[in-house]
């Protein structure tokens, strides 16, 4: 397990470089991430490359025995490139050039930009690709599905649509152009979505443009990866991502990458119950992209600021705890942002390990302790996370529900996180995987709001239940066809037979709802935002509504189907319901549960086939004691224990 730092030597005096490398080595840093935003530093003007300073930096870290992740800094084109080729600037949905700020304002589809990006990549990889200290390459930085509407993107989108549908008749039918008299008869009539409010636009066209943008990003990183691989075939190549507003299709983005890389900035403020909102779901989502271990390329190191007002300071234990949490969920390298806090630029208040005064502080000493602890964890490199529970994530559903929000506070990601949190309360390992993944190894699969119907996904879900799996489907499933148009059938349309029930009516009650449900055991839970009123055919009622005109009508159902079972949750509930529901499902599916875990304590088990290693992380502001069923050996403390005591944000790892 490696701990590293993001380092920006171009921002610091040359006299600091060797000193920093020596201090990093002493601290226990194993890897540095370089060149993230340094395009203008290596290419001063068009074709005028200056690698002397970077040669010096690479030599310093190579001599120190510190590995290097080299970035291709195409997210930060130099101003001379914008000036000589203004056509590379993105055009916004308002049909105006985006103002160039600090980064990511170029259009990756413009041929001039691609040519310059490929030349820069080739120069970097030819110079450093055969250096044994350079162990990985990162392409660009935090790519999103930008909604560029420049002429290049317009033409490329038109060609993309034509390749997909092959005729105007098919395009018009798929996108629903007859609505509002917007049928196409010429390619020039097809334009990307505009800056109108999204709800005033064609949702089918909006989804197609997001799919197109995701394809363009994936094509771009694959092309740059090809430049690297042609020079160094065995190079390890990736790009980094995060869960953002314009999230890419992660599965396409990383399809041709060697591993997934994620930028992880967990929240630092405790909620009313003194627990902190966990990033465990996001970490499991990243692991599920390739169903393999991944890297963190930017990890929380201090107060955040720059894009917004500054956050509260990370509490004692968070620097250590959140890094070990990432290791627990499948990261095998965690690189902290950044070694030293910047003195200039928009991110000067996005704090690093060292503050701007360059004096080691509490966070630095905690980071140094983390480096020592991580050295004990190499045994986990071969240990895998084996899960019996999966949650399905769909980029199409994510985007379609952003294009047409269903009601106040209705959140697609929120549902995934709630189910994840509920199963995690019992110490379960959980995979978050694509909706078309192989589900045969799971006992429970949760598919929240499968809003957009894809035939392959539908067949995959049916196959899982037919073969004996337990499925949870939720409200707003089966609403749209694959073109993001409504299906003229009773909801949940293609899943009606599977769940053994119909939605006779629904109430988009929003955030003002005063509604509850009562389950089969007499437990009462609050529900909110959305209420499907169900009519059962072959299903049994699991819970019914307690108020409103649909009082006593089914809210949640359970249906036996072939060898398996399908539950339908027709509403959104508070966490106490999900925890109770998850516990019942695990018991029925024969999945072991850890009962009585204190609030905020997260448990993940990794196995190498011989030994199981159990990670305990206290993501709360309170000290907790966890009795073990038998004495176990602590990897952290190097001794046997029968009780685990965790102070706030503390971690212990025991061999089971």
Which residues are known catalytic residues?
A: 142, 298
- Give burial (CB, 10 Å; 0-12/13-18/19+) of 224: buried
Nearest by Cα to 201 from 189, 216, 191, 212 = 191
Return the H-helix or E-strand segment holding 43: strand 43-45
Distant-in-sequence contacts of 203-207, Cβ < 8 A, 24+ apart:
203/400, 203/403, 203/404, 203/484, 203/485, 204/174, 204/175, 204/176, 204/483, 204/484, 204/485, 205/175, 206/403, 206/484, 207/396, 207/399, 207/400, 207/403, 207/452, 207/483, 207/484
Distant-in-sequence contacts of 351-360, Cβ < 8 A, 24+ apart:
351/301, 351/302, 351/303, 351/304, 351/305, 352/5, 352/6, 352/301, 352/302, 353/5, 353/301, 353/302, 355/302
Nearest by Cα to 342 from 304, 389, 375 = 304
Residue 561 neighbours by CB distance under 10 Å? 18
Return the H-helix or E-strand segment holding 158: helix 151-165
What are the backbone dihedrals phi and psi of residue 320, each rounded to the nearest 5 degrees, phi first?
A: -70, -50
**DSSP β-bridge partners for residue 645:** 625
CA–CA dist 601, 598 (Å, integer)? 6
Nearest by Cα to 70 from 1, 136, 147 = 136
Q: Look-up: residue for tokens 């660009």?
A: 140
The two structure tokens encoding residue 80: 């001379």
Length of the chain: 656
Q: Look-up: residue for tokens 């239940």?
A: 465
CA–CA dist 147, 564 (Å, integer)? 42
CA–CA dist 283, 388 (Å, integer)? 17
- Cα angle, residue 601 at apex, residues 599 and 606 outer, rounded to 5°: 150
Nearest by Cα to 324 from 287, 263, 375 = 375
- Cα angle, residue 473 at apex, residues 471 and 476 outer, rounded to 5°: 170
Q: Going by DSSP bridges, is the β-strand pair 389-393/43-45 parallel, antiparallel, or unpaired?
A: unpaired
- Give burial (CB, 10 Å; 0-12/13-18/19+) of 10: middle
CA–CA dist 80, 45 (Å, integer)? 7
CA–CA dist 292, 39 (Å, integer)? 31
Sign of CA pseudo-dihedral 579, 580, 583, 589 = negative
Return the H-helix or E-strand segment holding 369: helix 362-374
Query: What are the strands of the beta sheet with 639-646, ordered from one edge?
Result: 601-607, 612-618, 651-655, 624-634, 639-646
Q: For 520-595, list the strands marked E by DSSP.
A: 524-536, 540-545, 554-561, 564-569, 571-573
Radius of gyration of the chain (CA): 26
Q: Look-up: residue for tokens 């500054």?
A: 310
Q: What is the largest CA-CA distance in the chain?
A: 76
């Amino acid at each position: 397990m490696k701990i590293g730092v993001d380092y920006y030597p171009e921002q610091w005096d040359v006299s600091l470089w060797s000193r920093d490398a020596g201090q990093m080595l002493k601290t226990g840093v194993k890897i540095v991430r370089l060149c993230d935003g340094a395009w203008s530093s290596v290419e001063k003007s068009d074709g005028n490359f200056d690698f002397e300073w970077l040669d010096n930096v690479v030599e310093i870290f190579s001599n120190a025995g510190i590995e290097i992740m080299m970035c291709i800094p195409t997210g930060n084109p130099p101003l001379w490139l914008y000036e000589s080729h203004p056509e590379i600037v993105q055009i916004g949905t308002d049909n105006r050039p985006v103002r160039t700020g600090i980064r990511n304002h170029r259009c990756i589809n413009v041929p001039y930009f691609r040519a310059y990006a490929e030349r820069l990549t080739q120069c970097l990889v030819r110079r450093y690709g055969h250096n044994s200290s350079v162990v990985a390459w990162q392409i660009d930085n935090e790519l999103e599905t930008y909604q560029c509407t420049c002429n290049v993107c317009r033409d490329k989108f038109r060609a993309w649509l034509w390749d997909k549908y092959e005729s105007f008749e098919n395009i018009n039918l798929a996108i629903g152009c007859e609505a509002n008299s917007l049928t196409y008869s010429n390619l020039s009539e097809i334009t990307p979505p505009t800056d109108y409010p999204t709800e005033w636009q064609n949702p089918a066209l909006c989804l197609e443009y997001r799919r197109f943008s995701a394809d363009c990003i994936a094509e771009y990183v694959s092309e740059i990866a090809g430049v690297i691989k042609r020079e160094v075939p065995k190079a390890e190549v990736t790009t980094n991502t995060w869960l953002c507003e314009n999230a890419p299709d992660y599965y396409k983005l990383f399809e041709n990458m060697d591993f997934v890389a994620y930028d992880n900035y967990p929240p630092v403020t405790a909620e009313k119950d003194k627990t902190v909102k966990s990033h465990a779901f996001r970490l499991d989502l990243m692991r599920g992209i390739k169903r393999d271990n991944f890297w963190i390329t930017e990890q929380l190191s201090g107060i955040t600021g720059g894009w917004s007002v500054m956050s509260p300071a990370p509490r004692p234990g968070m620097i250590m705890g959140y890094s070990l949490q990432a290791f627990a969920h499948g990261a095998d390298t965690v690189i902290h942002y950044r070694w030293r806090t910047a003195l200039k630029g928009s991110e000067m208040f996005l704090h690093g390990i060292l503050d701007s005064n360059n004096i080691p502080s509490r966070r630095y000493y905690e980071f140094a302790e983390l480096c020592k602890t991580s050295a004990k964890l190499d045994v986990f490199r071969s240990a895998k996370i084996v899960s019996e529970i999966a949650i399905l994530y769909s980029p199409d559903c994510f985007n379609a529900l952003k294009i047409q929000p269903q009601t106040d506070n209705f959140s697609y990601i929120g549902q995934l996180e709630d189910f994840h949190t509920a199963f995690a309360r019992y110490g379960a390992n959980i995979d978050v995987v694509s909706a078309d993944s192989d589900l045969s190894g799971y006992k429970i699969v949760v598919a929240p709001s499968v809003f957009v119907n894809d035939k392959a996904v539908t067949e995959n879900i049916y196959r899982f239940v037919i073969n004996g799996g337990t499925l949870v489907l939720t409200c707003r499933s089966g609403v749209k066809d694959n073109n993001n148009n409504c299906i003229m059938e009773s909801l949940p349309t293609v899943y009606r037979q599977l769940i053994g029930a119909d939605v006779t009516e629904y109430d988009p009650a929003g955030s003002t709802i005063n509604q509850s449900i009562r389950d089969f055991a007499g437990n009462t839970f609050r529900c909110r935002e959305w209420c499907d009123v169900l009519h059962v055919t072959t299903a049994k009622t699991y819970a019914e509504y307690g108020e409103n005109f649909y009082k006593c009508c089914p809210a949640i159902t359970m249906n036996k189907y072939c060898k398996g079972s399908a539950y339908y949750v027709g509403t959104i509930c508070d966490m106490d319901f999900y925890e109770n529901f998850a516990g019942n499902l695990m018991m029925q599916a024969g999945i072991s549960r850890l009962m009585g875990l204190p609030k905020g304590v997260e448990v993940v088990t990794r196995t190498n086939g011989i030994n199981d290693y159990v990670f305990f992380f206290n993501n709360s502001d309170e000290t907790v004691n966890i009795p073990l069923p038998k004495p176990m050996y602590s990897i952290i403390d190097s001794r046997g224990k029968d009780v685990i005591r965790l102070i706030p944000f503390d971690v212990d790892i025991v061999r089971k």
